[in-house]
Structure 1
Amino acid sequence: MKLQSLVLAAATALTMTTAFAVPAGTWTVAAGAHYVDPKSDNGTLNNGLSVDVDGDVRPTISGEYFIANNVGVELLAAIPFHHDFTLNDATGKEILTGKTQHLPPTLSLQYHFDDYNLPMNVKPFIGVGVNYTTFFKEKLNQPGADLKLDDNVGIAGHIGLDIPFAPTEAFRIDARYMDIKTDATLNGTDIGEIDISPWVYGVAFVKQF
């Protein structure tokens, strides 16, 4: 429902008209950091063990090109996120631990609200797009265990605020929802799906060109 709300809001925003302030052909670059906060209850594997995935924070960078007035296409990139996870039995007792890394590049179509005379001249934006997550360096703390997590493609939603402090510079606060689910295999055998589907919270410095 959270993702559906974001998609609906993005679709509504893209149909609105306003006084344009970010002209087509503009570029912005945002450098900052994001915290990946996986959903609670990350699934139950075929062997009955439940999965809990920890969060992580890493530096990120994004570039956005405005294909029309106030409408941009943004690509988010980051250095690899690291996640520890635990496998628990039905009573919640920790049975196994592991770790993985992933890269979640995300491409979004975004609408920036401008010229609305909001407090502090803040500029909200909203977007919807697609996320591709690739997993690597999977490790389960069990001798001889070969754990693999499949790559994932899912929908992503994006909302945020730009707070200008100079004509071409701003401070950004944003949040993304990413639909990330991965099929897990252990020693070549399918053991079920892990549902990470995190909210991703970030701050960044934004420069317009």
Structure 2
Amino acid sequence: MKKNWSLLFQLFWVFFKIGPVTFGGGYAMIPLIEREVVKKRKWVEIEEVSDMFALSGTAPGAIAVNAATFIGHKIAGVRGAIAAMIGVLLPTFLIVMLLNIIFVSFEGNPHVKAAFLGIRAAVVALIAYAAIKIARTSILDKSTFILMIVMVIMMLVFHWHPIFVIVTGALLGIMIVKVKELMNIPVRLDHNPEKNKESIYDVPNEEMRT
């Protein structure tokens, strides 16, 4: 029983520490989740984090809250989901209240404006880093690389909604696998060489990273 409560507190505390980063958007928390949840505590694999964030983007509500809930549930069931959700929400609530007080009091202060300018730039760096980390576990071959490029174009040029992008990506992913199976082309579903035999059509992992 004590072990269960200890795990729940750890979940709460981990996401309480991660929570302050979520003001830049849920994806900004991926580097911290990787460090705290994947590398330090080894609760889940980085591939699972990528999948959970994909699911979080399709569900209603804030991505940060959805991701924390998914990860908490994966680790400790319903109680874990609640602990992680409270952990990620509480610091966000406190910070927003504090920022509101500061902003109202010093709205015209150039130092405050400069601080927010720096924060926005730092958040862009966090999101870019998170995108690179996810790409390393999600871009498996030429087909997934082309799919990524197409989805980026759809968002930038045609302004597709993120949910539409994710749903379309899922459908195209299924179609790609089915076509490869019909053509007897080996299918790669992850980077683990023990689980997938590399096809001559696949782009080597090192090449995709350059």
The answer, yes or no, to whether TM exceeds 0.5 is no
TM-score normalised by length of structure 1: 0.22
Q: Give the number of the structure whose residues are more often helix, by fraction.
A: 2
